[in-house]
Amino acid sequence: MIVDTLLERIVAMQNPTCVGLDTAFEYLPEAMQAECRTATEKAEAIYAFNCDIIDAIADMVPAVKVQIAYYEALGPAGLQCFAATLAYARERGLLVIADAKRNDIGATAAQYAKALLHGEESGFASDFLTVNGYLGSDGIAPFVEESKASDRGLFVLVKTSNPSSGELQDLKLADGRTVYECMGDMVERWGAGTWGAYGYSRVGAVVGATHPAEAAVLRQRLPHTFFLIPGYGAQGGNAEMIKNSFAAGGMGGIVNNSRGILCAYRKTGGDYAEAARKACLAMKADLLSVLGEIHA
């Protein structure tokens, strides 16, 4: 069961870190950028960069999150690079999260699930997919079904890391809950009956590192929900803030960092892959300094 696999890798590596391959062309070293004119050339350069990053971190990080928007911006050639990046990461033993925040209903949601979870025909097979639950159960059910059929997992947006996330998500409902608590409750319901060996379901939640008070509420409220935690580093989240998103033993979550890893070389100078590896090691040490030893 894929969530168990993810947790076992986190424990074995003692590292609840996910590296975000949100690889904007502009993140590449200028020398690499200078050689590219067409979308195809840019996509090939991004793929080469991604492979170097993956090689540098594959032995110490359990998962990568690949943000599809950066690939979509380059059209079909970019999406070929997206497919190749997912495949290379899996080949190197990493679990892959397709960060696509897809949402639609019925037959259309089933097409997205086919595209980004199952992936045999599209080439976009991933282990986890981020989704948006604004449409309610029949927007999520097709993704849950595909997850069960092909052993995948989901992360539903619950409390996002951006400054204005509260405009809708923090509003109080007449029943006393906030909108994000209500979404969290739906996530627990959608995941019911899909629990793995460690008590976490296939339907996880996105809970931003930048909102530690809300994270504490959600960690308590959603005992079977695994958290994908964006917002560490560039967006302002730190290890102390992230502690609230984890259950006992440092279980129940994984923290993403994209720009802080991909662009580490811009601060340190030198080789980007080496800088990425060092940034990963520093992040691991930072997280473990507050979480302690991770264990089931």
Residue 186 interacting with its own copies (CB under 8 A): yes
Instruction: Find where tokens 């906030």 sit.
Output: 178
In the complex, minimum distance from the CB of residue 140 to its own copies, in angstroms, rounded to a whole number: 9
In this chain, which stretch among 115-123, 239-247, 248-256, 282-290 interacts with its own copies, using CB under 8 A? Answer: 115-123
Residue 68 has phi, psi (to 5 degrees) of: -65, -25
The nearer residue to its own copies, 166 or 199, going by C-beta atoms, is 166
Residue 237 interacting with its own copies (CB under 8 A): no
How far apart CA 219 and CA 269 sit, in angstroms, is 38
Judge contact between 194 and 144, C-beta under 8 A.
yes
Distance of CA 113 to the CA centre of its chain: 16
The question of whether 114 is a catalytic residue gets the answer no
Residue 165 interacting with its own copies (CB under 8 A): yes
- Of 42, 101, 148, 159, the catalytic one is 101
Residue 79 has phi, psi (to 5 degrees) of: -75, -25
Positive or negative, the Cα torsion across 279, 280, 285, 286? positive
Residue 67 interacting with its own copies (CB under 8 A): yes
Give how many residues touch its own copies by CB under 8 A. 62
How far apart CA 97 and CA 84 sit, in angstroms, is 14
Restricting to residues 124-153, name those near its own copies by CB under 8 A: 124, 132-139
Q: Which of 119, 245, 165, 168 shows the shortest CA–CA distance to 129?
A: 119
Near its own copies by CB under 8 A: residue from 17, 126, 169, 201? 169
Residue 190 interacting with its own copies (CB under 8 A): no
How far apart CA 18 and CA 62 sit, in angstroms, is 7
In this chain, which stretch among 6-14, 28-36, 118-126, 146-154 interacts with its own copies, using CB under 8 A? Answer: 118-126
Instruction: Find where tokens 């302690």 sit.
Output: 292
Residue 290 interacting with its own copies (CB under 8 A): no
Give the footprint of its own copies on this chain (CB under 8 A).
22, 24, 39, 67, 69-70, 72-80, 83, 101-109, 111-112, 114-116, 121-124, 132-139, 157, 160-169, 171-175, 179, 182-183, 186
The residues annotated with a catalytic role in the active site are 101
